[in-house]
C-alpha cells in the first residue's frame, strides 16, 4: 500500500517532513493502493487544528474519483464517530463535472430567528464562503435507484431556501476556484468543504422552480443572481445526486434529510456584514458575519 503523504502549506506536521515534501510529486500508478484512511486522518487533524487543508490535486492530479471518494468516505466516518450526524447531501458542478458530499445535521444546521439573522464569526473559518441553494426535503426513505424525476418527486415533500456556510480552507483557493478539475478533485477529498447550512421555512414541493428567481446581496448590494430561464434542471440534478452519489457511495436517505445541488448565485467569499439571499416565492434568508 502506498501512503498518500500530504504537506500543508507553511506547516508540515510529521517527523518525516522531508519525506512528505519529497512525495508531493510522487505519482501513484494504477497498480498501487493509496492509504486513504491516512489521508483522511491528515484532513481531519488539520481541520481540528484550524490549519489549511491539504490540496489533493496539487499533490497528485492523477488520482481517480474512486480514490478521492474513498478519502472522503474515511473522513466522513471520522466525523460521524466523533458525534456528528448526517443531515443530508450536496451536489456540485452538476451536470458538467458532477460530484457529491455529505451535509451534517444537528448543530451544523442553523435556523432563522424572527428578530435577527444568525450571527457567525469568521474567526471559526480559514476562508468563509456563503452560497444560495435550494433544499429538497425527503419525506420517505430511499434505498435503491429511482427510475425518473417523477419517482423523485414522490419522495420529496418540501422545498426550502438554504444558505450553505462552507470553509474553503485551501491555500490559494482564490486561484484554484477558476480551475474546475483542480477544484473538483480537492473538494471531493475534503467532503466539498461542508461545514454548516442555514435552512429556512418549508414550501410545497410543487413550486415551479423554472419561475423562481434567486439573488444574493451583501449589505444591500447585489452580488449574484440566477436567471430562471438559463439554468440547469434542479430536479434532474437531485436525481443524479440520489442515484449516482448517495446510493453508490453506500449512504441512505432517511425522512427529514435534504439535498442541495449547487450554488445559484456564485461562490461568495464572505466579509463582515449582512448576507441576504432572496429566493422569491421560497422566502428570504439572512446571515450576519461579524467583524474580522
Looking at the fold, whether 158 and 241 belong to one and the same domain comes out as yes
**pLDDT, position 28:** 47
**pLDDT, position 177:** 86
**pLDDT, position 281:** 93
**pLDDT, position 229:** 59
Looking at the fold, whether 76 and 133 belong to one and the same domain comes out as no
Looking at the fold, whether 220 and 250 belong to one and the same domain comes out as yes
**pLDDT, position 250:** 96
Looking at the fold, whether 171 and 235 belong to one and the same domain comes out as yes
Looking at the fold, whether 281 and 176 belong to one and the same domain comes out as yes
Looking at the fold, whether 70 and 131 belong to one and the same domain comes out as no
Residue 35 CA neighbour count, 13 Å, CB half: 11
Which of 255, 84, 281, 101 is closest to 190 using CA atoms?
A: 101
Looking at the fold, whether 164 and 23 belong to one and the same domain comes out as no
Q: In terms of C-beta density within 10 A (0-12 exposed, 13-18 middle, 19 or more buried), how is residue 192 classed?
A: buried
Looking at the fold, whether 76 and 108 belong to one and the same domain comes out as no
Domain end call among 50, 83, 116: 83
**pLDDT, position 113:** 83
Domain end call among 67, 83, 99: 83
Looking at the fold, whether 242 and 255 belong to one and the same domain comes out as yes
**pLDDT, position 24:** 36
Q: What is the CATH number of the domain that holds 175?
A: 3.90.850.10
How far apart CA 203 and CA 281 sit, in angstroms, is 8
Q: Print the domain residue range for 24.
A: 1-83
Looking at the fold, whether 176 and 62 belong to one and the same domain comes out as no
Looking at the fold, whether 278 and 210 belong to one and the same domain comes out as yes
Domain end call among 63, 83, 103: 83
Number of structural domains, the chain? 2
Q: What is the pLDDT along the chain (292 residues), one digit of tens a residue?
A: 545 444 444 443 432 223 233 333 455 444 357 899 999 999 999 999 999 999 999 989 999 999 999 999 999 999 999 999 999 999 999 999 999 999 999 999 999 987 889 999 999 999 999 999 999 999 999 999 999 999 999 999 999 999 999 999 999 898 898 899 999 999 999 999 999 999 999 999 999 988 888 999 999 999 999 876 556 689 999 999 999 999 999 999 999 999 999 899 999 999 999 999 999 999 999 999 998 6
Looking at the fold, whether 122 and 264 belong to one and the same domain comes out as yes
Beta-carbon contacts of residue 119 (< 8 Å; ≥ 6 apart):
288, 289, 290
Amino acid at each position: 500500500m502506498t501512503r498518500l503523504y500530504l504537506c500543508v502549506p507553511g506547516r508540515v506536521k510529521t517527523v518525516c517532513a522531508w519525506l512528505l515534501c519529497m512525495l508531493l510529486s510522487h505519482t501513484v500508478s494504477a497498480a498501487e493502493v493509496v492509504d486513504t484512511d491516512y489521508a483522511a486522518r491528515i484532513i481531519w487533524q488539520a481541520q481540528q487544528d484550524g490549519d489549511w487543508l491539504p490540496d489533493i490535486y496539487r499533490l497528485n492530479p492523477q488520482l481517480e474519483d474512486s480514490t478521492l471518494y474513498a478519502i472522503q468516505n474515511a473522513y466522513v466516518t471520522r466525523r460521524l464517530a466523533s458525534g456528528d450526524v448526517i443531515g443530508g447531501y450536496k451536489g456540485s458542478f452538476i451536470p458538467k463535472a458532477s460530484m457529491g458530499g455529505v451535509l451534517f445535521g444537528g448543530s451544523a444546521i442553523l435556523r432563522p430567528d424572527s428578530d435577527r439573522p444568525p450571527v457567525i464569526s469568521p474567526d471559526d473559518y480559514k476562508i468563509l464562503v456563503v452560497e444560495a441553494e435550494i433544499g429538497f426535503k425527503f419525506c420517505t426513505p430511499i434505498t435503491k435507484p429511482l427510475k425518473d424525476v417523477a419517482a423523485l418527486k414522490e419522495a420529496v415533500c418540501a422545498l426550502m431556501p438554504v444558505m450553505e456556510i462552507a470553509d474553503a480552507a485551501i491555500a490559494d483557493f482564490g486561484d484554484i476556484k477558476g480551475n474546475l478539475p483542480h477544484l473538483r478533485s480537492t473538494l471531493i477529498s475534503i467532503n466539498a468543504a461542508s461545514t454548516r447550512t442555514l435552512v429556512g421555512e418549508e414550501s410545497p414541493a410543487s413550486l415551479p422552480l423554472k419561475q423562481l428567481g434567486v439573488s444574493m446581496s451583501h449589505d444591500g448590494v447585489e452580488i449574484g443572481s440566477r436567471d430562471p430561464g438559463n439554468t440547469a434542471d434542479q430536479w434532474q440534478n437531485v436525481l443524479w445526486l440520489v442515484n449516482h452519489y448517495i446510493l453508490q457511495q453506500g449512504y441512505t436517505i432517511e425522512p427529514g434529510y435534504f439535498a442541495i445541488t449547487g450554488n445559484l448565485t456564485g461562490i461568495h467569499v464572505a466579509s463582515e456584514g449582512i448576507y441576504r439571499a432572496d429566493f422569491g416565492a421560497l422566502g428570504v434568508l439572512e446571515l450576519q458575519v461579524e467583524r474580522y
